[in-house]
Amino acid sequence: MNSAEATRQSKNAGAFQLLYKYGTILTILLLIVFFGTMTDNFLNYTNIINILRSISIVTIIAIGLTVSLAVGGFDLSVGSTASIANALVISMFVWHGQNIGVGLVVTLLFCLVVGLVNAFLVINFKIQDMLMTLATMFVFQGIALTYTRGATVSENMILPSGEFATGQIPDSFGALGKAPWIIIIMLVVVLLVHIFLTYTKHGRYMYMIGGNPEAAKLSGIAVNKYRLLAYLISALFAGIGGIILGSRVMTAEVNAGGPYLMDAVAAAFIGFSVLGAGKPNAFGTFVGAVLIGILSNGLIMMSVPYYAMDIVKGSVLALALAITYFRSRR
């Protein structure tokens, strides 16, 4: 190899590293310029707040998924867990007349039980995380449907007995789904998990387990304990996402959390390449969610049909995965 060819390859490698490290953020900036030019109200303060509100639930659920990815897992049941949380918290108010404290505590405790079930099956049966949580995804989805009897849970709904539900959803609960609280909760979740994964020994242990579980075990790290913790955190944040979804729409729709799974997966994997991280991380997941939110909002403002949205999201995810795995093989 002559010096000219070596120089050219070095420049190409440098350009790829630059694209890998800053490509997602550059894409966001280009999209902002494009949609801001093509539409009248995209850069309005109100629309920016709408984008942040729209990505809040996805981000919170994706953050939980990110923690499971950090230990080498893959929790596909987060959407179904959010559906259970959505149905349970609304029913606690509407069917059982409970206050906001009881409704939130009962819902989050049940979601932790979901995380325990996932962790028990994955750890004890030693089945690949993605396959096991794919199975539990359907189980939890069925539990949510069975609990609600396939009906939308809302105030003044007709109960199976023929009577009307008398419980009321507290106004303070509804405030959680409105700006600024929904945005503040999202940012706090991102910040806490970023600090946990990046600056604590427990976060570093999780990354070690995700990189090489056998080496981590030989180093004295309690691998199963951290995998359990990861699935508990994943279920907890999925539950928080489902609760906030309920506070935003004030009802519990059938399988309401299901549509958030694809966006959460896309955000988490896009985050691998943000600032060249090369691994699941909270800040990258947030940036990935912002990218998806800007895409969705801008395309809607340009009157692109809703049924074409998944084509764009899937293409973005495929590109992010291609860049991530191509770099890992270099």
Q: How much is the average pLDDT of 20-34?
A: 85
Given a cut of 80, is residue 4 above it in pLDDT?
no
Q: How confident is the model at residue 326 (pLDDT cuts 50, 70, 90)?
A: low
Q: How confident is the model at residue 219 (pLDDT cuts 50, 70, 90)?
A: very high
Distance CA 288, CA 28 (A): 9
| Domain assignment present for 21 | no
The CATH number of whichever domain residue 238 belongs to comes to: 1.10.3470
Residue 122's pLDDT is: 94
| Domain assignment present for 61 | yes
Residues 82, 241 contacting (CB under 8 angstroms)? yes
Residues 290, 28 contacting (CB under 8 angstroms)? yes
With a pLDDT cut of 70, the percent of the chain lying above it is: 92
| Domain assignment present for 263 | yes
For the ranges 111-120, 183-192, 294-303, which has the lowest average pLDDT?
Answer: 294-303
Residue 2's pLDDT is: 59
Distance CA 236, CA 112 (A): 6
Q: How confident is the model at residue 103 (pLDDT cuts 50, 70, 90)?
A: very high
* Domain count of the fold of the chain: 1
Instruction: Give the mean pLDDT of the chain.
Output: 90
Q: How confident is the model at residue 25 (pLDDT cuts 50, 70, 90)?
A: confident
pTM score of the predicted model: 0.92
Given a cut of 60, is residue 24 above it in pLDDT?
yes
Residue 9's pLDDT is: 57
Given a cut of 70, is residue 13 above it in pLDDT?
no
Q: What is the DSSP string of 51-112?
A: HHHHHHHHHHHHHHHHHHHHTT---TTHHHHHHHHHHHHHHHHHTT---HHHHHHHHHHHHH
| Domain assignment present for 244 | yes
Residue span of the structural domain in which 219 resides: 34-154+161-328
Distance CA 5, CA 35 (A): 40
| Domain assignment present for 226 | yes
Instruction: Count other C-beta atoms under 10 Å from residue 217's C-beta.
Output: 14
Q: How much is the average pLDDT of 84-103?
A: 95
For the ranges 224-228, 305-309, 324-328, which has the lowest average pLDDT?
Answer: 324-328
Q: How much is the average pLDDT of 170-188?
A: 94
| Domain assignment present for 296 | yes
Q: How much is the average pLDDT of 23-49?
A: 90
Given a cut of 90, is residue 274 above it in pLDDT?
no
| Domain assignment present for 317 | yes
CA distances from 129 to 68, 76, 107, 221 (A): 9, 9, 24, 20
Residue 129's pLDDT is: 92
Per-residue pLDDT of 104-144, as tens digits, reads 999 999 999 999 999 999 999 988 999 999 999 999 999 99
| Domain assignment present for 5 | no
